[in-house]
Amino acid sequence: MLKPGGLGNPLELIDKAKDLFGGGPETSTERPTGNSIFDLLRGNPETKEKAEAIKENAEKERANVFLELGSSVYRRWFPNLAKFTDLAAAGAERVGIRDRGAEAVSWQHEFETITAFSLLTPDFLLKPLVDPLAQSELFKKMVDYWPTSIPDDMKANLNSANYDPDTFFDIIRVMNQDIAAGKTTVEDVLKLIPGGSLMGGGMLDRLRGLLGASS
Amino acid sequence: MDKKAITKEIIKYLQLSTMEPREKAMWMLLLPDMETEKLNKLKSALKKEVNAITDLYLEAASAT
């Protein structure tokens, strides 16, 4: 065990630390995490594997807590998004299923908040939330059909095996800005889709059916 | 243990966790709106991680 005061002068203490941890984080090529004990343990070949296993396991446990938050925090922060998706609401407005009312401003605020919040969320937490939509055929078709061009590097990243979930929010941000600035409308998007095939055919009918409206 | 006491413990464990700074900031933002049950789960996960890292450190130190 460590013996307080038993290490002699400071130089001996430094030598002892080097023996313990193989020189510490300076010998490691990995970026320091800010947790000095973890960085020391990761810098030592004998403890590196165990330290990384602890970190990985902790990330899995926090990911479970994070996913469970959907029923509490998200419903309070994003009450409108909890009911509908922004695009579904905009689409419904365009085809005359329901009017866009005073809640449009609060929708916009929620949208800005959720995209800002995504900047703070690490990829390992963000990916399970984003995957179902970002990797869906529907979203990828929307990106392809979008009237103003989505930057090629964003498209390439979205279609790569190890895509960055932040790219999904970047693309949504571009779409949101296009609509907010009047560069495009959901109507324009619908016009560009051959035969309304965005959702595999009959998109407008499906939207009407989904929302219980008559044609 | 009430919500405030659990939150205080979580904040202490957050500083000792291996998570990156932006994730710490994210949890700090979420804490006020989290239910007690979720706070307890987060505290348990953080405590387990911090204890495991500390144990590994002491194990490595005693081996020399």
- Considering CB atoms only, which of B23, B33, B60 is closest to A41? B60
Are residues A34 and B21, on separate chains, in Cβ contact within 8 Å?
yes
**Mean pLDDT value across chain A:** 68
Asked if the model's pLDDT at residue A19 lies above 50, the reply is yes
Structure token digits, residue A4: 């307080």
A74: number of Cβ within 10 Å:
17
**In this predicted structure, what is the pLDDT of residue A12?**
56
**In this predicted structure, what is the pLDDT of residue A177?**
76
Pairs from A182-187 (Cβ < 8 Å, separation ≥ 24): A183/A147, A183/A148, A184/A146, A184/A147, A184/A148, A185/A94, A186/A87, A186/A90, A186/A91, A186/A93, A186/A94, A187/A94
What's the mean pLDDT in A187-204? Answer: 54
Q: Residue B9 — pLDDT band, cuts 50, 70, 90?
A: very high
The DSSP annotation for A59-124 comes to HHHHHHHHHHGGGTHHHHH-TTTTTS-HHHHHHHHHTTSS---TTHHHHHHHHHHHHHHHTTS-HH
Helix A45-68 × helix A123-134 angle, to 10°:
50
Interface contact A120, partner B, CB < 8 A? yes
CB < 8 Å to A68, chain B: 38, 41
CB < 8 Å to B51, chain A: none
Asked if the model's pLDDT at residue A59 lies above 60, the reply is yes
Q: How many residues does chain B have?
A: 64
The ipTM is 0.91
**In this predicted structure, what is the pLDDT of residue B42?**
95
Chain A: residue whose CA lies nearest to B13 = A35
Interface contact B21, partner A, CB < 8 A? yes
The DSSP annotation for A162-182 comes to T--HHHHHHHHHHHHHHHHTT
Distance (Å) from the C-alpha of residue B4 to the closest C-alpha of chain A?
17
Per residue in B10-46, pLDDT (tens digit) is 999 999 999 988 888 888 888 888 889 999 999 999 9
Q: Mutate which of A37, A49, A129 to test chain B, going by most B C-beta atoms within 10 A?
A: A37
Interface contact B49, partner A, CB < 8 A? yes
Asked if the model's pLDDT at residue B52 lies above 80, the reply is yes
Asked if the model's pLDDT at residue A94 lies above 70, the reply is no
Hey, which of A42-51, A128-137, A172-181 has the most confident mean pLDDT? A42-51
Residue ranges of alpha helices (H) inside B1-64 are: 3-16, 21-30, 36-62
Chain A: residue whose CA lies nearest to B14 = A35
Lowest mean pLDDT among A161-170, A174-183, A187-196, B5-14: A187-196
pTM of the model: 0.56
**In this predicted structure, what is the pLDDT of residue A13?**
53
Chain B: residue whose CA lies nearest to A70 = B34
Q: Mutate which of A120, A121, A125, A126 to test chain B, going by most B C-beta atoms within 10 A?
A: A120
**In this predicted structure, what is the pLDDT of residue A69?**
77
Per residue in A118-169, pLDDT (tens digit) is 777 787 887 877 787 788 877 887 888 777 778 889 989 988 888 888 888 8
- Which comes out higher in pLDDT, residue A148 or A56? A56
Chain A: residue whose CA lies nearest to B47 = A58
Are residues A120 and B56, on separate chains, in Cβ contact within 8 Å?
no
Asked if the model's pLDDT at residue A194 lies above 60, the reply is no
